[in-house]
Structure 1
Amino acid sequence: MRVSLEIKSKTKEEAISKAMAKLNVNSKDLEVEVLQQATKGFLGFIGAKEGLYKFTVIETELDIAKKFVETILKNSKIEAKVNVTQENNLIKVDIEGKDAASLIGRRGETLDSIQFLTGLALNKINKDSHMRVLVDIENYRSKREESLIRYANKVAREVAKTKKTKKLDYMNPYERRIVHSALQNDKYVSTYSEGTDPYRRLVIEYKR
């Protein structure tokens, strides 16, 4: 919900200063609507009327992402801390809290769903947004990445030894990219994907 405030003041500039102080934001974070123009009156003060200005705090994409995830946690009755940062065109949402681990799901499926829905929430507010969203819980993604890389290297060594093609379990696009990247410079095996999401899997084959 967007925070709004109406202020009466002699000038727009004075009203902005008051709004900044009361809402604890910078001027660039405020949307200003003039509801009633101020009038100077006769000789500058006789019959003068204050203007009426409506100020609305502009929600950033980071605010939207954080509030959306916090709402999911609240509805799930899970107490956790949500930290949101931005790196170029990537919004990173990190959830900290032991109970939050229940929202990861099997192989991160529930976590991926939360990430997908958060992205939809951003696009609903700003259809021209080019921001991507990455949602993580208790550093699950980095742990999963390390696990996938170990698994990929293990399977690659098996394929190199037996010279038999190996098909991995179904993975989401993010996980497939991790495996592709881990084995892209391997001398003995190559990788490619087959199938259609969500039943798309990665294949590791021996280089003939």
Structure 2
Amino acid sequence: MTKVVTSGKTVEDAVKQGLSQMGVSRERVTVNVLEQPSKGFLGWLGVKKAKVELTLLSEPSPETIHTAEPHVSAQAPFRAGQAVTEAEPVTREPHINPTSTGQADPYEEAVRFIRETAAGMGLDVEVDVHHRKDESILDISGPSLGMLIGRRGQTLDALQYLTNIVANRHSDKFIRIVLDAEQFRARRQKTLEDLADRLANQAIRYGKEVVLEPMPSQERKLIHAKLQQHAQVRTYSKGDEPNRRVVIAKK
């Protein structure tokens, strides 16, 4: 085997894997970096490994065995004059402030994830964390947050889902995070409660069931809660996610 292409999390890992396959030391190969590693979008989506090509050198003559320097490809990320053994990958791991248990703080990771996501959308935001008994509210502030909220909060809900995944990766117990921006949650709740009242009156007036459009579970709960004590209508849900709907019917 005179040539091998391997990959790894870093250039160094890829080189080690190639040397192991070829059964030789570093001094016996040239290293050509084909692809630099990439952490991908937000540090974990679309991660790309480093890829290197190792080529076996011919045996040096006795006259040059003590003076031959290992060849390094111009594409490899090594400093001039350094041996291949001192190579370092360009991509660095981000610094994480550990907790007292050595684990990254889940709320710091959540805030960092939100800010990186917003930056990818061209937005510069701040995030304030407010802890409650059963959940934590991460309140996002900044200019032009309509893009981050999305139509009827769909983008904000998707970001909330991903943020919970990120935070719980760094927590030894389950935590629940709710994202808010420009008091969208309160405004959306008021809109849904007004809608519930209006459609309840419609169901009473015409004596027919009123079927709402598909909603996420937390919005369906708001409709149910609003009409739970209503004297003349009842509510239930039907259908499967993501097309599950609230139905308002006359008692």
TM-score, L = length of structure 1? 0.71
How far is the alpha carbon of 1:137 from its aligned partner? 1.2
Partner deviation per Cα, 1:93-120 (whole Å, 9 max, x = no partner): 1111231221111111111100000011
Match of 2:193 among 146, 149, 153: 149
Residues 88 and 60 from structure 1, CA distance in 2 versus in 1: closer, same or farther, beyond 3 angstroms? farther
1:86 aligns with 2:114: no
Sequence identity of aligned pairs in percent?
Answer: 31
CA distance in 2, matches of 1:98, 1:160: 43
Aligned pairs, how many? 157
Do the aligned partners of 1:159 and 1:204 also contact (CA within 8 Å) in 2? Answer: yes
1:65-144 to 2 correspondence within 5 Å? 65-126=110-171, 128-144=172-188
Q: Which residue is 2:241 aligned to?
A: 197
User: What is the match of residue 96 of structure 2?
Assistant: 2
- The higher relative CO (CA closer than 8 Å, separation ≥ 6) is in 1
Cα distance, 1:125 vs structure 2: 2.1
Q: Are 1:175 and 2:219 matched, yes or no? A: yes
RMSD after superposition:
1.6
Cα offset, 1:122, TM superposition: 1.6
The CA deviation at 1:84 is 1.1
- Matched residue, 2:107: 62
Question: In the TM superposition, what is the alpha-carbon distance from 1:182 to its structure 2 partner?
Answer: 0.2
CA distance in 2, matches of 1:190, 1:76: 42
Kindly name which structure, 1 or 2, has the bigger radius of gyration based on alpha carbons. 2
More strand by share: 1
Aligned residue for 2:230, secondary structure, equals: coil
- 8 Å Cα contact 1:73/1:79 also seen in 2: yes
SS in 2 for 1:98: coil
Unaligned runs of 5+ in 1: 5-28, 32-55
User: Normalized per residue, which structure has more helix?
Assistant: 1
1:44-72 deviation digits (Å, cap 9, x = unpaired): xxxxxxxxxxxx6x532221211111111
C-alpha deviation, 1:175, in angstroms = 0.4
Question: Distance between the aligned counterparts of 1:202 and 1:98, measured in 2?
Answer: 34
Which has the larger displacement, 68-77 or 110-119?
68-77
Kindly tell me: are residues 92 and 112 of structure 1, through their superposed partners in 2, closer, same or farther at Cα, counting changes over 3 Å?
same
After TM superposition, what 4+ stretches of structure 1 lie above 4 angstroms from structure 2?
A: none
